[in-house]
Every structure is written in structure tokens, then in C-alpha cells.
């Protein structure tokens, strides 16, 4: 796609008018808090112990001075240097959460891709009511992960009252879905896949439908079988879209929290916890804001490093394929 940038001449202030509002909002709501978090991560700030005066009354901007004084006083009184990071080095829950993040991203996402590829290929066949299947297969991606967690993780995978309960009774099996860390993580991967597969499927289907039909006609005339056509043509042509979809999924899988929170709460113990959930539970529910913010900053650096590596290696591959 050719970028027509520069085709409309505009004065400096006009150009700024278009981009600046979005930039400023992003800066104040996301960039500034992230940088401010670096300060907080060197403190023992707690939700109950470190009180703020709050907004008081009047227009916010007139009280900026008060706010800055209030917050810097809180930071000074709770400053504990690199204690948080020293504690993190020996924190098993932190290590487990980091490991789970990697499992969900690098085992979960490839599984999502395989199923989604199968579905996209099915939907690309000559079938009746294609539109109907496309719409229904998209539905899981519309549902709040919190609701999915309850709907599948709790209501369906219920040992006593779930839909599998009667069969289990008759076969004399005791159902238990989340009693070990391995089982808990495995079922969470399945539930997360149920949610995410439609997204990958939609991307791959768009890729399949954008392929020129003539080359497949040509392959058929040349006598190429289905399997050879897929391996030699369809799959390589689909590679750029595939990699884009997989990278996007990995980015989003790193944020996984809601499903786990509802289904296992991170348990048994901390076994199925991700870093997002650990930060939420320790920082917000238990109120250890200082330590959890230190976790959050390390998490952010970790995510940026992993995604940058992916973009540099795989991203270059994508660009060379286009």
C-alpha cells in the first residue's frame, strides 16, 4: 500500500492539531504513570499505610502543587532503596509467574494457531452457509474473558454439577480439573484458546481469501495434489499473515489475567499465576503497592525485550516476505 503522506499541505499548527490530542492523552494516562511507577518501585508504599490527602475540592489544575507535594512526601517516607528488587530475586511466586507467562505465550499461542489454521481452511472450502459458520465461530472472541472464565472454567468444568458429571459418575471417575499446577495451567490454556482462536482464524481466512485463484488453477492443471498444493503454495503464501497473527496473539497472551483470576485464582498455591495476576493480587488485593510496582516495572521490561526480539527476528522475516 502506497502511503500518500505529504499530499495535503498544511501549516505546522494544523498538523499538530490532528495528532497532538491523541499524543497528549496517551502521554498523561500511560507514559507518565509508567515513569512515575519507577519511583514507586523503590518504596514500601502500601494501600492502607500510605495515605494520600486525595483531591480535596476545586479544579484539579489549581491543586497540582499540592498533589506533587503530597506524592513526593509519600515517596520520601516509604523509600526503601533496592529492597524490593533484592526480595524479587528470591521470590518463588515471581519465578513461577514468569514461567507461566512464557508457557501461555509460547505453548498456548502455537496451539491456537494450529486449530485456527484448520478452521480457516475449512471455511475457505466450497461450503453452504459459509457466512453462518463465520459468524458463529467468531462469537467466542466477543465475550468478556471474565464471563468466559466462569462459563467454561466454573460452570462447565464443574466436577459435581457440570455437563460431564453424569458420565463421570457412571464411569466411576472422580473429576478434578485444577488440582495440580500442571492440570490447572493446561485447562487455562484450553479456555484461553477457546477465546482467542476466532481472532487468528479471521486473520488467516482473510489471508486465504486474498490469494489469487489463478495460481491454484494452474497448480491443478499441473497435477499437484491437495497436500502438495498446501505445503508448496498455500502455507508459504499464508506465512506473513500467520506471523502477524501469532505475534499479536503473543502480545495479548502476555496480558492474560481475567480468565485465570476467575477460574483458579492463580492456584493451587501460586502454580497457575501469571505476572499480571500476581501484581493485581499482591499490589491491589493485599495492598503491597511498592513491591508489586517493582514487579510491574520488571514485567514491563521483560515484555518489551521479548516482543522487541520477536519483532526484530520475525518482523524482518515478515517484511522480506511481502
Partner 1 sequence: MVHNPKWLQITIYALLAFWLVIALFPLYWMITLSFKNLVLITTGPFFFPWIDYSPVTLGWSDLFESGQRNRFLTAMRNSLICAIGSGLLSLVLGSMAGYGLSRFSYKVGIWRNRDISFFFLSQLILPPAAVILPLYILFVESGLYDTLFGLTLLYTVVGLPIVIWIMRDQFNSLPVELEQAALVDGHSALGAFLKIATPIAAPGMVAAFILVVIFSWNEYLFSAVLTSRTSYTLPQLVATQVSSQGVKFWTMAAVGTATVAPLLVIAIMLERYIVRGLTAGAVK
Site for partner 1 in 257-296 (CB under 8 A): 257-258, 261-262, 275-277, 279-280, 283-284, 289, 292-293, 296
Maximal CA-CA distance, the chain:
79
CA-based nearest residue to 176, from 264, 93, 274: 264
Residue from 304, 312, 316, 317 in contact with partner 1 (CB under 8 A): 304
- Asked if 2 is part of the footprint of partner 1 (rule: CB under 8 A), the reply reads yes
Binding segment (CB under 8 A) for partner 1, from list 103-111, 130-138, 171-179, 180-188: 130-138
Determine the size of the site formed for partner 1 (CB under 8 A).
Answer: 113
Residue from 237, 307, 314, 315 in contact with partner 1 (CB under 8 A): 307
E strand or H helix that includes residue 262: helix 258-263
What's the number of CA atoms in the CB half-sphere (13 Å) around residue 124?
Answer: 21
> Which grid cell sits at 5?
503522506
Shortest separation between residue 182's beta carbon and partner 1, angstroms: 23
- Asked if 177 is part of the footprint of partner 1 (rule: CB under 8 A), the reply reads no
- Asked if 300 is part of the footprint of partner 1 (rule: CB under 8 A), the reply reads yes
CA-based nearest residue to 307, from 315, 318, 297: 315
All residues at 6 or more sequence positions from 216 whose CB lies less than 8 Å from its CB, including other chains: 229, 233
- Write b or e for each residue in 137-166: b if 16 or more Cβ atoms lie within 10 A of its Cβ, otherwise e: beebbeeebeebbebbbeeebeeeebeeee
- Asked if 94 is part of the footprint of partner 1 (rule: CB under 8 A), the reply reads no
Residue from 82, 143, 231, 312 in contact with partner 1 (CB under 8 A): 143
End-to-end Cα, the chain, rounded Å:
11
Residue listed under C-alpha cell 521483560 = 302
Residue from 105, 109, 184, 202 in contact with partner 1 (CB under 8 A): 202
Residue listed under C-alpha cell 509467574 = 97
Shortest separation between residue 242's beta carbon and partner 1, angstroms: 10
Binding segment (CB under 8 A) for partner 1, from list 85-93, 105-113, 152-160, 174-182: 152-160
Residue from 86, 95, 154, 317 in contact with partner 1 (CB under 8 A): 154
- Asked if 26 is part of the footprint of partner 1 (rule: CB under 8 A), the reply reads yes
E strand or H helix that includes residue 105: none
Binding segment (CB under 8 A) for partner 1, from list 23-31, 76-84, 88-96, 178-186: 23-31
Q: What distance lies between CA 275 and its chain's CA centroid? A: 12
Chain residues 226-245 in contact with partner 1, contact rule CB under 8 A: 226, 241, 244-245
Residue from 98, 109, 117, 119 in contact with partner 1 (CB under 8 A): 119
- Asked if 106 is part of the footprint of partner 1 (rule: CB under 8 A), the reply reads no
Binding mask 42-61 for partner 1 (x = CB under 8 A): ---x------xxxx----x-
Residue from 109, 196, 203, 246 in contact with partner 1 (CB under 8 A): 203
- Asked if 4 is part of the footprint of partner 1 (rule: CB under 8 A), the reply reads yes
Quote the CA–CA distance of 52 and 187 in Å, as a whole number. Answer: 42
Question: How far is CA 52 from each of CA 56, 68, 278, 279, rounded to the nearest angstrom?
Answer: 10, 11, 24, 21
Residue from 91, 133, 159, 183 in contact with partner 1 (CB under 8 A): 133
Quote the CA–CA distance of 233 and 218 in Å, as a whole number. Answer: 11
Chain residues 73-92 in contact with partner 1, contact rule CB under 8 A: none
Shortest separation between residue 51's beta carbon and partner 1, angstroms: 10
Shortest separation between residue 68's beta carbon and partner 1, angstroms: 9
All residues at 6 or more sequence positions from 276 whose CB lies less than 8 Å from its CB, including other chains: 255, 256, 257, 299
Amino acid at each position: 500500500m502506497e502511503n500518500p503522506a505529504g499530499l495535503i499541505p498544511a501549516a505546522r499548527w494544523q498538523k499538530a492539531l490532528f495528532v497532538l490530542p491523541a499524543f497528549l492523552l496517551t502521554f498523561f494516562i500511560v507514559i507518565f504513570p509508567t515513569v512515575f511507577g519507577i519511583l514507586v518501585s523503590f518504596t514500601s508504599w502500601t494501600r492502607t499505610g500510605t495515605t494520600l490527602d486525595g483531591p480535596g475540592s476545586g479544579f484539579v489544575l489549581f491543586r497540582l502543587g499540592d498533589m506533587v507535594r503530597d506524592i513526593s512526601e509519600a515517596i520520601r517516607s516509604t523509600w526503601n532503596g533496592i529492597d524490593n528488587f533484592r526480595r524479587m530475586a528470591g521470590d518463588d511466586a515471581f519465578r513461577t509467574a514468569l514461567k507461566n507467562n512464557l508457557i501461555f505465550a509460547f505453548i498456548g499461542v502455537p496451539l491456537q494457531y494450529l486449530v485456527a489454521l484448520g478452521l480457516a481452511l475449512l471455511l475457505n472450502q466450497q461450503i453452504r452457509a459459509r457466512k453462518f459458520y463465520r459468524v458463529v465461530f467468531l462469537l467466542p472472541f466477543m465475550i468478556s474473558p471474565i464471563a468466559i472464565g466462569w462459563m467454561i472454567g466454573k460452570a462447565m468444568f464443574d466436577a459435581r454439577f457440570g455437563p460431564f458429571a453424569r458420565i463421570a459418575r457412571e464411569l466411576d471417575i472422580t473429576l478434578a480439573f485444577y488440582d495440580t499446577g500442571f492440570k490447572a495451567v493446561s485447562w487455562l490454556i484450553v479456555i484461553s484458546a477457546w477465546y482467542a482462536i476466532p481472532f487468528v482464524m479471521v486473520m488467516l481466512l482473510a489471508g486465504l481469501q486474498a490469494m489469487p485463484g489463478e495460481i491454484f488453477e494452474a497448480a491443478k492443471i499441473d497435477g499437484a495434489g491437495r497436500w502438495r498444493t498446501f505445503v508448496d503454495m498455500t502455507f508459504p503464501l499464508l506465512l506473513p499473515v500467520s506471523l502477524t497473527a501469532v505475534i499479536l496473539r503473543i502480545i495479548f497472551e502476555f496480558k492474560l489475567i481475567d480468565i485465570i483470576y476467575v477460574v483458579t485464582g492463580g492456584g493451587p498455591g501460586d502454580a497457575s499465576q501469571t505476572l499480571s495476576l500476581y501484581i493485581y493480587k499482591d499490589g491491589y488485593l493485599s495492598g503491597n503497592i511498592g513491591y508489586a510496582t517493582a514487579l510491574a516495572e520488571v514485567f514491563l521490561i521483560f515484555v518489551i525485550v521479548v516482543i522487541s526480539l520477536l519483532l526484530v527476528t520475525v518482523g524482518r522475516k515478515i517484511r522480506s516476505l511481502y
